[in-house]
Homo-oligomer: A and B are copies of this chain.
Amino acid sequence: MIVIMKPEVSTEELSPIINRIKRAGLDVQINHGENRIVLGLLGDPEILRSVSFQQYPIVDKVVPISNSYKLTSREFHPQDTVVDVDGVKIGDGSFVTMAGPCSVEGEEQIMEAARMAHAGGAKILRGGAYKPRTSPYAFQGLGETGLKIMRAAADAYELKVITEVMDEAHIDVVAEYADIIQIGARNMQNFRLLEAVGKTGKPIGLKRGISGTIEEWLNAAEYIAVQQNSNILFIERGIRTYERATRNTLDLSAVPLMKKLSHFPVIVDPSHGTGIWDLVSPMARAGVASGADGMIVEIHPDPLNAWSDGDQSLNEKNYLQMMKEVEVLVEAMQKIKSLTKGEIVC
């Protein structure tokens, strides 16, 4: 940690702060700059972070050096982590598609959605049985019934299942039916939930918070990883910005950035990332080209009558068209990787 003094602070004035540092068992290096003194502090990171240097009127700025996440960092684990979802590998250089409706609405709908997903080449079925809804009066999901019929639909088309859990009480039942447990954007910093899903050992799809920073996202993954669960998938789903012409702003630069800072795979969600169905295909293509390991996309047999997120869901025709486009880009990315003998930047 670096502590920068205000200009013209003298060595004598440093005494209280130096004493405080030593009392905390930390080492200190004193550097004399142009017109400022700068302290370099050494010691246990958690102790470093616990001292409130900003309270000293002579302090100008405090700069942390080390990150608080460890297991999640690329430094800790230089190779890419490949997450194995009951045989479907994510992070091995392939591009995996997860597709399905926003909400599981009934047997026929989810079976039809699974058929569509499979027809387009998706390997994993998405669908919500427990739904986080802004209003208490909106449809909240079918619960366990929804999980059961989604599992049956997925099995009928040899798909894996990803679905969201919203609270600890439902972790067991979700874990029973799902192959990947999804943590929604609103729960990225629901720390007790992170710990609890971490303990299941199951693959976890960790969505970026609605206004989650890159650093908070990495730390959220650390809550899962410390439970000895390294089956983590980061899902970029767009962030909240001033721009409201789209539902969110899909931050595709997060793909190469997260892959630089961490070893876990990164998935993009062009549906929530835009909120508008005819922007989904272009952003899916861009997601492939950004280097993502897969995508999660909302499709529906009849988007006009979807119970939720109909505006951003693709119908069968548009979904199949998108998947053809994505396939062409996946091939192009393979070609690029061979060009660079795997040395592709980020």
Interface residues of A (CB under 8 A from B): 2, 4, 6-7, 20, 29, 31, 33-36, 38, 40, 42-43, 45-46, 49-56, 61, 63, 65-66, 68-69, 75, 132-139, 166-169, 186-187, 189-193, 195, 209-211, 213-216, 219, 222-223, 226, 239-246, 249-253, 255-257, 260, 273-274, 276-279, 281-283, 285-291, 303-308, 310-311, 313, 315, 318, 321-322, 324-325, 328-329, 331-332, 335-336, 339-340, 344-346
In the A-B complex, the 10 residue pairs with the smallest Cβ-Cβ separation, listed nearest first, are A52-B310, A211-B211, A332-B332, A289-B289, A68-B135, A54-B311, A256-B282, A285-B289, A286-B286, A214-B245
Give, as a whole number of angstroms, the nearest-CB distance from A24 to chain B. 9
Are the C-beta atoms of A282 and B345 separated by less than 8 Å? yes
Which of A29, A242, A251 is the most central at the interface, judged by chain B CB atoms within 10 Å of its CB?
Answer: A242
Chain B residues with Cβ below 8 Å from A335 are 328
B-side contacts of A49, CB under 8 Å: 138
Q: Which residues of B contact A255 (CB under 8 A)?
A: 282
Identify 24 residue pairs between A and B in the complex whose beta-carbon atoms are under 8 Å apart, listed by A's number: A2-B63, A34-B42, A50-B307, A54-B310, A68-B137, A69-B135, A133-B191, A135-B219, A135-B222, A166-B192, A167-B193, A186-B189, A211-B240, A211-B242, A213-B245, A214-B245, A215-B245, A241-B241, A256-B279, A256-B283, A278-B345, A289-B329, A328-B332, A329-B332
Q: Which residues of B contact A50 (CB under 8 A)?
A: 139, 307-308, 310
Q: How far is the CB of A149 from chain B (nearest CB, A)?
A: 20
User: Among B53, B54, B134, B310, which residue has its beta carbon within 8 angstroms of that of A216?
Assistant: B134
Q: Which residue of B lies closest to A277 (CB)?
A: B55
- Given known A135-B219, A192-B166, contact A242–B245 (CB-CB < 8 A): no
Q: Would you call B243 and A214 a contact (CB within 8 A)?
A: yes
Q: Are A38 and B40 in contact (CB under 8 A)?
A: yes
A241 touches B249 (CB 8 A): yes
Most buried by B among A223, A282, A307: A282
For residue A35, which residues in chain B have a CB less than 8 angstroms away from its CB? 66
A169 touches B192 (CB 8 A): yes
Chain B hits for A186, CB < 8 A: 189-190
How far is it, in angstroms, between the C-alpha of A65 and the C-alpha of B249 when the chains are bound? 24
Question: Considering the chains assembled together, what is the distance between the CA atoms of A214 and B242 in angstroms?
Answer: 11
> How far is A311 from B49 in the complex, measured between Cα atoms in Å?
11
From B55, B75, B243, B286, give the contact of A7 (CB < 8 A). Answer: B75
Q: By the criterion CB–CB under 8 Å, are B214 and A52 in contact?
A: no
A55 B211 Cβ-Cβ under 8 A: no
